[in-house]
């Protein structure tokens, strides 16, 4: 199926690619250090010296944005990866073993799902010290549940298919069935869930940092920058809030729309049937 609104996809993907490249080559592009304080140029609007202006300590917003982007994108990618691993193994075990174990695992999953995730994140965050590892851990611990549920349903549906029965007859072990036959079939689902997982993780990181319990305050991240910007908005320092927010929006927009495109490629509607109850 050809996607009509692909111009939007192209625009966002290209800007996202540029964003990734620029972010991870930040030291080349930024003339200033993200932590350098320059008290003679405080809250300076954008000009040619500081393209995106400076913040309340005279730090260059562009440099902080790029260095912060590294943190945000890193958190997004790793948290997604960890939550996919947890979710896929949980869902695969639950769907493949079935019976009583499946029921216990599913009730446990329902219980985890019914606790509002942000409250859980706040609580988990209190358990450990603030930092990058903690935040990745916290985000992935609160976002594996939908993945597990999707994978479980897929495996349940395929478990009794003819090709699985055939390989059972030939003598395939359960492990081989799972790794060689069932899980490869789940790739489309896993890819889609991974893509939405990245955007979820980036937003979660920004939210936690905004509440002041995410990335430690002195380190730049997009959420942190937005939190700092909050108190200077009234004095008209729009550039402090505008550029980090734009970075987040472009990133999420690119990720979601590319997810949508892939979904259409993988025979769209299959993944859209959220309404199918379990």
Partner 1 sequence: MSQFILKRIVESLIVLFIGSMLCFIFIRMLPGDPAAALYGDQLQKMSEADRVRINENLGLNEPIFNQYGKWLSQVFHGEWGQSLSSGENVTTIVVQALQPTFMLMLSSHLIIFVLAIVFGIISGYFRKSFIDQAITVVSFLFMSIPSFWLAIILMLFFSVYLRVLPTSGIGNSNWGEFLRYIIMPSLVIALSHVGYYIRLLRNHIATSKESGFVFALKARGIPEHLILLNHLIPHAFIPFLSFTGMSIAVSLASSVLVETIFSWPGIGRLALKSALTHDYPVLLAVIMLSMFFVITVNLLVDLICAWIDPRIRTNFLEEGKK
Query: CA 66, 71, 76, 79: dihedral to nearest 10 degrees?
Result: 170
Among the listed residues 89, 130, 207, 258, the single contact to partner 1 using CB under 8 A: 207
Binding to partner 1 (CB under 8 A): which residues in 1-30? 4-5, 8
For partner 1, give the closer residue by CB, 38 or 156.
156
- Other CB atoms within a 10 A radius of the CB of residue 205 amount to 29
**119 forms part of the interface with partner 1 (CB under 8 A):** yes
Taking CB under 8 A as the binding criterion, the range among 36-44, 66-74, 79-87, 104-112 that sits at the site for partner 1 is 104-112
**253 forms part of the interface with partner 1 (CB under 8 A):** yes
State how far Cα 189 lies from the chain centre: 16
Among the listed residues 28, 39, 218, 269, the single contact to partner 1 using CB under 8 A: 269
Alpha-carbon gap, residue 129 to 142, rounded angstroms: 17
Alpha-carbon gap, residue 135 to 144, rounded angstroms: 15
- For the record, the structure tokens of 20 come out as 């990734």
Total residues contacting partner 1 (rule CB under 8 A)? 53
Burial class (CB in 10 A: 0-12, 13-18, 19+), 163: exposed
State how far Cα 257 lies from the chain centre: 14
- CB-based contact 71:223 (threshold 8 Å): no
DSSP string of 69-109, one letter each residue = HHHHHHHHHHHHHHHHHHHHHHHHHHHHH-HHHHHHHHHHH
Alpha-carbon gap, residue 55 to 8, rounded angstroms: 32
Alpha-carbon gap, residue 259 to 194, rounded angstroms: 9
Among the listed residues 118, 133, 157, 166, the single contact to partner 1 using CB under 8 A: 118
For partner 1, give the closer residue by CB, 30 or 240.
240
Taking CB under 8 A as the binding criterion, the range among 28-36, 78-86, 166-174, 265-273 that sits at the site for partner 1 is 265-273
Among the listed residues 17, 115, 157, 166, the single contact to partner 1 using CB under 8 A: 115
For partner 1, give the closer residue by CB, 30 or 252.
252
**100 forms part of the interface with partner 1 (CB under 8 A):** no
For partner 1, give the closer residue by CB, 66 or 206.
206
**278 forms part of the interface with partner 1 (CB under 8 A):** yes
Residue ranges binding partner 1 (CB under 8 A): 4-5, 8, 98-99, 107-108, 110-120, 122-123, 126-127, 199, 203, 206-207, 210-211, 213, 226, 230, 233-234, 241, 245, 248-253, 256-257, 260, 268-269, 272-278
């Amino acid at each position: 199926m050809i996607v009509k609104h692909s111009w939007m996809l192209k625009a966002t993907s290209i800007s996202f690619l540029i964003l990734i490249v620029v972010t991870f080559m930040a030291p080349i592009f930024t003339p200033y250090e993200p932590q350098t304080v320059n008290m003679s140029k405080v809250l300076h609007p954008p000009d040619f010296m500081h393209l995106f202006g400076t913040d309340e300590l005279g730090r260059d917003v562009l440099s902080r944005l790029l260095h912060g982007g590294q943190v945000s994108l890193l958190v997004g990618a790793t948290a997604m990866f960890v939550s996919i691993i947890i979710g896929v193994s949980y869902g695969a075990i639950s769907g493949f073993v079935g019976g009583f174990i499946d029921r216990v695992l599913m009730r446990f999953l329902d219980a985890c799902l019914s606790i509002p995730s942000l409250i859980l994140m706040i609580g988990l965050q209190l358990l450990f010290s603030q930092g990058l590892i903690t935040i990745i851990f916290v985000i992935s611990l609160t976002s594996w549940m939908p993945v597990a549920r999707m994978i479980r349903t897929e495996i349940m549906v395929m478990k009794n298919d003819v090709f699985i029965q055939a390989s059972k007859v030939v003598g395939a072990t359960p492990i081989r069935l799972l790794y060689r036959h069932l899980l490869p079939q789940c790739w489309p689902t896993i890819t889609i869930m991974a893509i939405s997982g990245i955007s979820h993780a980036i937003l979660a990181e920004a939210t936690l940092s905004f509440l002041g319990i995410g990335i430690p305050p002195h380190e730049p991240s997009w959420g942190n920058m937005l939190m700092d910007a909050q108190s200077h908005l009234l004095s008209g320092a729009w550039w402090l809030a505008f550029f980090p927010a734009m970075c987040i929006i472009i990133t999420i927009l690119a990720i979601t729309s590319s997810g949508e495109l892939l979904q259409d490629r993988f025979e769209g509607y299959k993944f859209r049937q959220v309404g199918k109850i379990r």
